[in-house]
Chains A and B, each alone.
Chain A
Amino acid sequence: MANVLCDVCGEQAATVFVTKIVNNETTRQRLCESCARHRATTEGWMQHLLQDSGHLDTAQTDDIMSFLEHTDAALEAFMDQDGSAEAEFELPSSTIFNFGGFPADEDLVDEMEEAEMEEDLRADDFDAVNEALEADQHQLFPHDHTLRPIPTVRCSKCSTTWDRLRQDGRVGCSHCYIVFEEQLRDVMNRVQRAAEHTGKHPRTAEKRRRRLEHLRARRDHRLEMLNRRLQEAVAAEKYEDAAKLRDKIKIVASTIVSGE
C-alpha cells in the first residue's frame, strides 16, 4: 500500500481525497485529516458534505459550536467507512466536489479516478442543474450562511444583469454590449449570420476622426520640419533665426487639436 502524503503539509498520510470540478476544470487534492478539517471549515464546503452524509440538521447551522462538533463527527464517519464513502453535492457556482474518505490505496485511487471520469462525463448535465440552482439558490439552501450569493456581473451603467437581459430580451444601455460582449457574441453567432458588423458605420463620426488624424499628422509634420531647420540654424550659428524658429515651435506645439 503506497503511502500518499498530504498535499498541504506534506507530512502526514493523505486520507481525504477531494476532487473539485469548477466550470468543467478538475482539480484534485489529497489531504491529511487535520488539513482537510481546516480546509473544510475555512472554505465552507464541509457543510455540504455534512448535509449529504446526513450529519447536519440544517436548522442547527446557526450554532457554531454544534457545527464544529458535527464537522468532526462527519469526518470521523467518513474515516470509519471503508473507502466506499462518496459524497457529492453541487455548489451554485457550478462547482462539484467529490469526496472519497478512504485509505490511500493504489486500487482505490484507480477506482476513484474512474469515478472522477464518470463525474466529468456527467458534468455536462450539471450545467442544466446548476442553471436551475442559480435560480432557486435560496430556496434550496435556506439556512446556509456559508453560501454567499455569487457576485453576478452587472452593467456598471444601468446595473442590468445577464439574467434580466435574457428574460427581457433587451439590454439596458449601450454599455451592456461591452459588459456582456462574450455572451452576446454567442447569441449572435446562433441567431445572426455572424457576430461581426459589416454594414454601414456612422459617417460623420468617421469623418471627424479622420479629420482629427489628418490635423494631428500635419502638426507633427510641421514640428518635425521646424526642428530640423532649428538644428540647421544652430549648426550654421544663425542664432537669430534659431530664436525665431524656437518661438514658432512653441506656438505650433501648443496648438491643441480638438479631441486631445
Chain B
Amino acid sequence: MATNYPTPPLLLSCFERTAKWMRRGGRENDIVISSRVRLARNLRRYEFPHRASAPDLLTIRHRTFQALHAAGESSGLTDLRLLPFEEFTGWERQSLVDRHLSSREHITEEIGRGVAAVADASLSALVNEEDHIRLQSLLPGLQLDTAYSLVDKLDDAVESFFDQRGGYAYSNVFGYLTACPTNAGTGMRASVMLHLPALEITGKIDKARNWADDNKLTLRGTFGEGSKIWGHLHQLSNQLTLGTDEVEILLDAENATRELCTMERQARLSLQGKWADETRDRVGRAYGTLRYARRISCREATDCLSYLRLGHELNWLKGLTRQRFNELIVWIRPAYLQVLHGRSISSEERDKLRMELLRPHINRVRLDSSFNGTPARTPSAAPNPETVKQEDIA
C-alpha cells in the first residue's frame, strides 16, 4: 500500500499515527471517545489575531514557539513539534483538523498561524487562531481533570515566559480577555467527544441536545462549532466561561457527560429490545458495505464504522476494538489519506484507497450467529482480533 511516495510526508513524520486520544484510557470508554480542555490566552501588547498585522502575527508566533520550547524543557515535554502553517500544503493543514489539532477557520489563514504539539498530540497549542494562544490537552475517555491539570501547568509556564514581555491580556473584571467576549473569563472550553448512535436511532438526540442546553452546555458537531455530525460523534462543551471557576466548569461538564452516558446506555438497552430489528439491519448493512464495497466515501465509511462500533458495544460482533475505531475514523479522512500517501489525490482514487486501507481491518470483524444469512467471514484471513497490532496496517 502506501509506499510509493518519494520523500516521507513532513506531517506524518511529525506525529504518531495513533494519537494519545485514540488509545485506551479514561473513564466511560464505551461512549466517551476523548476529553479536551482548551485555554484561550492573549497577549496584552498585540491586537487580536483577526486585526493584527502580519509582522505582529509572526512575532506572536515566534514568541509563543519560544515560550513553548522553554516550557517544554522545564516540564519534560521535549518532543514538541512546531508547525508554522506557511510550510504546509492545504491538505496537510486539513489533516490537523481531522486529528482535532486545529480548526477549519485556523487553517484557512497562513501568515503567522501555526500549531505546536507533542508527538502524541496530547498537548498542543494553536497559535493565532481566534486568540493568540490556545493551549489544549486531548486525552482518551472521560478525564477532563487530568487534561486540565496538564494544560494548566503549560499555561503557567507560558505565562511566566510572557510575564516580562507584556504579559497576558487579563483584567480583574473580565478575567482572561479573548477576541470573542463569550470566551472571556476563564477562557476555558472543556469538551468531550461522545459516541451517541443509540440516541440518534431512537430519535432522542434532540431531547439530549435540549437537556444539554438547559444545563448551559452545548452538543455540537464532530469538528466543533457549526460542523456536521460524522459517525454519531457529538461534542459536548461548556457555554459559560465567566462568573464561574475552572473546577466548577469541569465538574459540570463531567456530570453532564455522565448523565448523557446514562441516557445513551438506556437507549442502547432499547436497541436490543424494541429497536433490535432496525439496529441489526443497520449494523448488518454497515458490515456488508465495508466488507464488499470497492469504493467508499468518507462520510459513508465513517457512518458504517460507527455502526460497527455500536455492534461491538452491543456484543453483536468482534474484531473492531475501540482504539481501532478511533484510528480508522481519522485515517480515512480525505486529507489524512493524502498525507499518508504524500501527494494530492483525486476523490475517486481516494475512495478506492480508503477501501484498501479499511479492508484488512474489516476482514477481522466477525458478526455473531444471530446475523443469520450474513456471510460470516473468510475463515483463513482472520487472526485473533486481540493480537491485531498496529504494524499490520499500511
Choice from B174, B186, B239, B243 contacting A177 with Cβ under 8 Å: B174
Contact yes or no, B244 A184, CB < 8 A: no
Evaluate whether A204 and B160 lie within 8 angstroms (CB atoms) in the complex, with A172-B47, A177-B174, A199-B185 already known: yes
Evaluate whether A171 and B246 lie within 8 angstroms (CB atoms) in the complex, with A177-B184, A199-B185 already known: no
Chain A residues closer than 8 Å to B163, beta-carbon distance: 202, 204-205, 208
Contact yes or no, A197 B159, CB < 8 A: no
Choice from A157, A171, A178, A193 contacting B244 with Cβ under 8 Å: A193
Evaluate whether A174 and B44 lie within 8 angstroms (CB atoms) in the complex, with A197-B173, A199-B185 already known: yes
Q: Is the interface of B mostly helix, strand, loop or mixed?
A: loop
CA gap between A172 and B177 in the complex, in Å? 11
B8-16, B75-83, B164-172, B368-376: which lies at the A interface? B164-172
| Cβ of A192 under 8 Å from chain B | yes
| Cβ of B51 under 8 Å from chain A | yes
Q: Nearest Cβ in chain B — how far from A179, in angstroms?
A: 12
Chain A residues closer than 8 Å to B169, beta-carbon distance: 174, 177
The size bracket of the interface on A is 20 to 34
CA gap between A2 and B167 in the complex, in Å? 69
Contact yes or no, A170 B170, CB < 8 A: no
Contact yes or no, B186 A171, CB < 8 A: no
CA gap between A168 and B181 in the complex, in Å? 11
CA gap between A202 and B2 in the complex, in Å? 47
Q: Is the interface of A mostly helix, strand, loop or mixed?
A: loop
Chain B residues closer than 8 Å to A198, beta-carbon distance: 243-245
Contact yes or no, A197 B174, CB < 8 A: yes
Of all chain A residues, the one with the shortest Cβ separation from B52 is A173
Chain B residues closer than 8 Å to A192, beta-carbon distance: 182, 185, 240-243
| Cβ of A244 under 8 Å from chain B | no
The size bracket of the interface on B is 35 or more
CA gap between A169 and B179 in the complex, in Å? 8
| Cβ of A195 under 8 Å from chain B | yes
CB neighbors of B among A137-175 (8 A): 157-158, 160, 168-174
| Cβ of A250 under 8 Å from chain B | no
Choice from A173, A181, A191, A202 contacting B51 with Cβ under 8 Å: A173
| Cβ of B128 under 8 Å from chain A | no
A-B contact count (CB 8 A): 121
Contact yes or no, B245 A181, CB < 8 A: no
Choice from A173, A185, A199, A202 contacting B47 with Cβ under 8 Å: A173
Of all chain A residues, the one with the shortest Cβ separation from B130 is A170
CB neighbors of A among B46-69 (8 A): 46-48, 50-51
Chain B residues closer than 8 Å to A122, beta-carbon distance: none
Chain A residues closer than 8 Å to B242, beta-carbon distance: 188, 192-197
Q: Nearest Cβ in chain A — how far from B92, in angstroms?
A: 28
Chain A residues closer than 8 Å to B168, beta-carbon distance: 202, 205
| Cβ of B200 under 8 Å from chain A | no
Contact yes or no, A178 B171, CB < 8 A: yes
Contact yes or no, A187 B181, CB < 8 A: yes
Chain A residues closer than 8 Å to B180, beta-carbon distance: 169-171
Contact yes or no, A184 B243, CB < 8 A: no
Chain B residues closer than 8 Å to A171, beta-carbon distance: 48, 177, 179-181
Chain A residues closer than 8 Å to B174, beta-carbon distance: 177, 184, 188, 195, 197
Interface of A toward B, CB cutoff 8 Å: 157-158, 160, 168-174, 177-178, 181, 184-185, 187-188, 191-205, 208
30 A-B contact pairs sorted by A residue (CB < 8 Å): A158-B51, A160-B51, A168-B50, A169-B181, A172-B47, A173-B46, A174-B42, A174-B48, A174-B171, A174-B177, A177-B171, A177-B173, A178-B171, A184-B174, A188-B243, A192-B240, A193-B242, A193-B244, A194-B244, A195-B174, A197-B172, A197-B175, A197-B176, A197-B185, A198-B245, A199-B188, A200-B155, A201-B175, A204-B159, A204-B160
Closest 4 CB pairs of A and B: A194-B243, A197-B175, A193-B243, A174-B169
